[in-house]
Chain A
Amino acid sequence: EIVLTQSPATLSLSPGERATLSCRASQSVSSYLAWYQQKPGQAPRLLIYDASNRATGIPARFSGSGSGTDFTLTISSLEPEDFAVYYCQQRSNFYTFGQGTKLEIK
């Protein structure tokens, strides 16, 4: 099973700041990595697919990069609605999710 490790576990930032979230895979997943956002009491929402492609309707402030084992989700300038938990997910070998990064207001 491919293990995804996300860091940091919690990220405390202020609106307007830049957020950088990391996801590392235990073996190469090529570019088969997605990012999801989840707010309390809601289902996850697809943000990024295949490492760097924004899903439909996702604002341009969200971007993804990486390939192989190291991936990054960047939010260029945080809006109040961006504070949530973010998960990476690979589809290279079945599917697994990372444990999540909580983005909280500083």
Chain B
Amino acid sequence: QVQLVQSGAEVKKPGASVKVSCKASGYTFTSYDINWVRQATGQGLEWMGWMNPNSGNTGYAQKFQGRVTMTRNTSISTAYMELSSLRSEDTAVYYCAREVHYYGMDVWGQGTTVTVSS
């Protein structure tokens, strides 16, 4: 079945970086964009950016410009999101989601909890 499986929980210190992976299966990885969305505890959804796994093209929310990098390894059908200069406000669950053009984000990963604490 179509699924996205994310890497496990991370605990980082302020100022460090974190890299979350998202492995796709059950479909052609390069045929659909991958979006990253985060959610702080008890808060709403926040879109971070998108990546086209075929071309590697990316688009980032202005809030994260300069701090986020989205990449992929097509040989293992895996997308990555790296966030640098972490601060406590970055503590959240990070989701990857497949996007079907002119449709929506129809398949989501299980989420990866990132905790930033000294």
Chain A positions within 8 Å of B, measured between CB atoms, are 1, 34, 36, 38, 43-46, 49-50, 55-56, 87, 89, 91, 94-100
Contacts and interface: CB of A to CB of B under 8 A. Distances in A.
Q: What does DSSP make chain B's interface, helix, strand, loop or mixed?
A: strand
Contacts, number: 56
Contacts of A38: 45
B44 A98 contact: yes
Given A94-B59, A96-B47, A99-B44, A55 B108 contact: no
B109 interface: yes
Given A87-B44, A95-B35, A46 B109 contact: no
Q: What does DSSP make chain A's interface, helix, strand, loop or mixed?
A: loop
Interface in B70-118: 95, 97, 102-106, 108-111
A91 B103 CA distance: 10
